[in-house]
């Protein structure tokens, strides 16, 4: 669980509701179902017009990246690659076939299988890089859906406010209803701007950030598999791969 996402949402909503209360307002004045339907429904409609169904569904699934940390463990993969390098150094590359069942990551397992099959190191690198680039492109496309939602919702919020003001203008004969009607109309703008800047755009940026981290981990894995195919020294291979890790996670790091 990515605790910072939950903290961010709680702080954002708490600040808005708290600020409203400090000014003497009440929660009911900013809870308007009609404004919510206009803003969220209009934004969803615009997203559906812009993207095919598969991309929209992918964007919903990508929310898991914002709420949870990726399962990939770069340090564990380095350890596995070094272990495989030691085995291949002593028993040959064909001995790696017995270890395939212990590899859970599909890309990792595919790379080791290619090594066992005798595929050239450059071909392994090329094929796996294409697959990683494709995965990253799919992820970025999903993130851009949320980014687009952040662009549409403020405009839809303004549209909702205008619709509300039109309704107010239709009731000018009753001045007692004007203040409340105008307040309700502008709630749509609050929803549109708030949803964009507190949720949609931050979600898109967090998903992009985590995708970048996943791609870096994948790049490290490919580097290790290529080194494994080329028969690199296990110790040198470990040192090369640990460059991708933060300093405090490297084997030579000393805690103060």
pLDDT of amino acid 163: 85
Residue 180, both tokens: 């409340």
User: pLDDT tens across 172-201, in order?
Assistant: 777 766 766 677 778 999 999 999 999 999
Tokens matching residue 108: 């990792």
Work out the pLDDT band at 137, boundaries 50, 70, 90: very high
> pLDDT digits over 84-123, tens only?
999 998 898 889 999 898 888 899 999 999 999 999 999 9
Distance, CA of 130 to CA of 159 (rounded, Å): 43
Radius of gyration of the chain from its Cα atoms, rounded to whole angstroms = 26
Whole-number Cα distances in Å, 120 to 92, 125, 126, 131: 16, 9, 10, 17
**Contact call for residues 147 and 198 (beta carbons, < 8 A):** no
CB-CB contact of 136 with 215 (8 Å): yes
More confident residue, 47 or 6: 47
Residue among 122, 117, 196, 111 nearest 157 (CA): 196
User: Sign of the C-alpha dihedral, residues 147, 150, 155, 157?
Assistant: positive
pLDDT in tens, 48-60: 999 999 999 999 9
What does the pLDDT read at residue 180? 64
Alpha carbons 90 and 234: distance in angstroms, whole number? 11
Which residue has better confidence, 158 or 74?
158
């Amino acid at each position: 669980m990515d605790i910072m996402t939950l903290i961010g949402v709680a702080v954002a909503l708490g600040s808005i509701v708290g600020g409203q209360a400090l000014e003497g307002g009440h929660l009911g004045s900013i809870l308007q179902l009609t404004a919510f339907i206009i803003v969220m429904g209009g934004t969803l409609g615009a997203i559906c017009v812009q993207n095919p169904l598969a991309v929209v569904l992918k964007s919903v699934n990508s929310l898991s990246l914002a709420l949870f940390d990726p399962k990939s463990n770069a340090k564990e993969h380095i350890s596995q690659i070094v272990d495989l390098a030691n085995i291949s150094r002593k028993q040959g590359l064909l001995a790696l076939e017995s270890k395939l069942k212990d590899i859970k990551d599909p890309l990792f397992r595919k790379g080791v299988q290619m090594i066992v099959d005798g595929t050239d190191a450059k071909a392994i690198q090329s094929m796996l890089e294409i697959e990683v680039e494709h995965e990253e492109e799919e992820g970025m496309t999903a993130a851009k859906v949320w980014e687009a939602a952040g662009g549409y919702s403020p405009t839809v919020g303004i549209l909702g406010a205008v619709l509300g003001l039109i309704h107010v203008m239709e009731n000018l004969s009753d001045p007692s209803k004007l203040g409340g009607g105008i307040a309700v109309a502008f709630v749509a703008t609050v929803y549109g701007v708030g949803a964009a800047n507190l949720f949609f755009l931050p979600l898109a940026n967090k998903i992009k950030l985590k995708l970048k981290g996943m791609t870096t981990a994948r790049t490290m894995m490919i580097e290790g598999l290529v080194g494994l195919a080329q028969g690199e020294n296990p110790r040198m291979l470990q040192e090369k791969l640990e460059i991708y890790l933060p300093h405090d996670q490297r084997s030579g790091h000393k805690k103060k």
